[in-house]
Structure 1
Amino acid sequence: MIKVTQTGKNTVALVAVCLAALMFGLEISSVPVILPTLETALHSDFKEVQWIMNAYTIACTTVLMATGTLADRFGRKRVFIISILLFGITSLFCGLARNTLVLIISRFLQGIGGGAMLICSIAILSHQFREGRERGKAFAIWGIISGVGLGFGPIIGGAIVTVSNWQWVFLVHVGIAIITMLLVLRGVQESRDPQAKKLDVAGIISLSLAVFGLVYYITQGQTIGFRSIAGLSILGAAVLSFIIFLRVEKKHANPMFDFSVFSIRRFSGAIIGCIGMNFSFWPFMVYLPIYFQSALGYDIITAGLSLLAYTLPTLVVPPLAERLTLRYQPRIIIPSGLLMIGLGFLLMRYGSSVAHASWLTMLPGSLLAGIGLSLTNTPVTNTTTGAVTPDRAGMASGIDMSARLITLAINIALMGFILVEGIYSYLESILPGSVAPSQLHTAAEKIAAGLSAPGLPDATAHAALVHGFGWVMLFGGVGVCILALVSFLIFGPKEKTVVRVTA
Structure 2
Amino acid sequence: MSSQQSGTSADHASRPARLTPVQRLALGVLLTANFTLAVDFSILNVALPHIGAELGFPTESLQWIVTSFALCAAGFTLFFGRVADLFGRKRLFLAGIVLLGLSSLLGGLALDPTVLILARVGQGIATAMVTPAALSLMTTTFPEGPARSRVLGLNGALMAAGFTGGAVLGGVLTGVVSWRWAFFINVVVALAVIVIAPFVLREKRADNRPKLDIPGAFTVTLALGLLVWGITNAGDDGWASVGAWAPIAAAILLFIAFWAIERRVREPLVALSMLRRPNVAWGNIAGLIAFATETSLVFVLTLYLQEILGFNAVSAGLMLGVLGIGTVIGGLIAPRVIGRTNAKFAIVVGLVLQGLATLPLALADQSSGWVIPLLIFTFIGGIANLVAIVGYTVTATTAVPPEQQGLATGLVTMSQQVGITLGTPVMSAVLASQLAVGLLSGIQLAIAVNAAIALVSGVIIAISLRLPKRSPVEAP
**Shorter-chain TM-score tier:** 0.7 to 0.9
Deviation at 1:196, TM superposition (A): 2.5
1:326 and 1:216 mapped to 2: Cα distance?
39
2:242 and 2:145 mapped to 1: Cα distance?
58
Letter in 2 for 1:474: A
CA contact (8 A) 2:427 2:446 kept: yes
Deviation at 1:330, TM superposition (A): 3.1
CA contact (8 A) 1:317 1:374 kept: yes
After TM superposition, list the pairs within 5 Å mapping 1:345-356 onto structure 2: 345-351=358-364, 353-356=365-368
1:87 and 1:44 mapped to 2: Cα distance?
23
Match of 2:456 among 451, 464, 482: 482
- Alignment-derived partner of residue 183 in structure 1: 196
- Alignment-derived partner of residue 202 in structure 1: 215
Query: CA 1:46–1:312 in 2, change beyond 3 Å: closer, same or farther?
Result: farther
TM-score (norm 2): 0.82
Query: CA 1:79–1:154 in 2, change beyond 3 Å: closer, same or farther?
Result: same
Whether 1:468 aligns to 2:442 is: yes
SS in 2 for 1:478: helix
Query: CA 1:101–1:491 in 2, change beyond 3 Å: closer, same or farther?
Result: same
Query: CA 1:397–1:8 in 2, change beyond 3 Å: closer, same or farther?
Result: closer
SS in 1 for 2:207: coil
CA contact (8 A) 1:61 1:406 kept: yes
Match of 2:417 among 405, 410, 415: 405
SS in 1 for 2:433: helix
Deviations 1:184-211 (A, max 9, x none): 2443357532313322222232223223
Query: CA 1:403–1:194 in 2, change beyond 3 Å: closer, same or farther?
Result: same
Deviations 1:297-335 (A, max 9, x none): 223331221111222111112232222223333333312
Match of 2:120 among 96, 104, 107: 107
CA contact (8 A) 1:271 1:403 kept: yes
Deviation at 1:339, TM superposition (A): 1.6
Letter in 2 for 1:367: F
- Alignment-derived partner of residue 342 in structure 1: 355
Whether 1:379 aligns to 2:391 is: yes
Query: Where do 5+ consecutive residues of structure 2 fail to align?
Result: 1-18, 472-476
CA contact (8 A) 2:146 2:339 kept: no
CA contact (8 A) 1:333 1:376 kept: yes
Query: CA 1:46–1:415 in 2, change beyond 3 Å: closer, same or farther?
Result: farther
Of 360-369 and 373-382, more deviation after overlay is shown by 360-369
Higher relative contact order (CA 8 A, sep 6+): 2
- Alignment-derived partner of residue 396 in structure 1: 408
Q: Which has the larger radius of gyration?
A: 1
SS in 2 for 1:312: helix
CA contact (8 A) 2:42 2:164 kept: yes
Query: CA 1:234–1:299 in 2, change beyond 3 Å: closer, same or farther?
Result: closer
TM-score (norm 1): 0.78
Query: CA 1:107–1:415 in 2, change beyond 3 Å: closer, same or farther?
Result: farther
Query: CA 1:386–1:129 in 2, change beyond 3 Å: closer, same or farther?
Result: closer
1:365 and 1:170 mapped to 2: Cα distance?
33
Query: CA 1:167–1:24 in 2, change beyond 3 Å: closer, same or farther?
Result: same
Of 277-286 and 213-222, more deviation after overlay is shown by 213-222
Whether 1:244 aligns to 2:218 is: no
Query: CA 1:7–1:379 in 2, change beyond 3 Å: closer, same or farther?
Result: closer
Deviation at 1:380, TM superposition (A): 0.9
Query: CA 1:279–1:76 in 2, change beyond 3 Å: closer, same or farther?
Result: closer
Deviations 1:244-282 (A, max 9, x none): 112122223333333334444444432331122123112
Whether 1:305 aligns to 2:279 is: no
CA contact (8 A) 1:271 1:400 kept: yes
- Alignment-derived partner of residue 6 in structure 2: none
Match of 2:283 among 270, 274, 281: 270
CA contact (8 A) 1:279 1:407 kept: yes
After TM superposition, list the pairs within 5 Å mapping 1:4-153 onto structure 2: 9-35=22-48, 37-38=50-51, 48-98=61-111, 100=113, 102-125=115-138, 145-146=158-159, 149-150=162-163, 152-153=165-166
CA contact (8 A) 2:288 2:419 kept: yes
Letter in 1 for 2:334: A
Deviation at 1:497, TM superposition (A): 10
After TM superposition, list the pairs within 5 Å mapping 1:426-445 onto structure 2: 426=437
Of 377-386 and 13-22, more deviation after overlay is shown by 13-22
Match of 1:322 among 305, 311, 335: 335
CA contact (8 A) 2:154 2:332 kept: no
Query: CA 1:357–1:262 in 2, change beyond 3 Å: closer, same or farther?
Result: farther
Deviation at 1:366, TM superposition (A): 1.2
Aligned residues: 453
1:497 and 1:228 mapped to 2: Cα distance?
49
2:369 and 2:50 mapped to 1: Cα distance?
23
1:155 and 1:371 mapped to 2: Cα distance?
19
Query: Where do 5+ consecutive residues of structure 1 fail to align?
Result: 1-5, 427-463, 499-503
CA contact (8 A) 1:325 1:333 kept: yes
Deviations 1:342-400 (A, max 9, x none): 2233222223x253365324223312321221110111111111154555444333222
Alignment RMSD: 3.5
SS in 2 for 1:317: helix
After TM superposition, list the pairs within 5 Å mapping 1:216-227 onto structure 2: 216-220=229-233
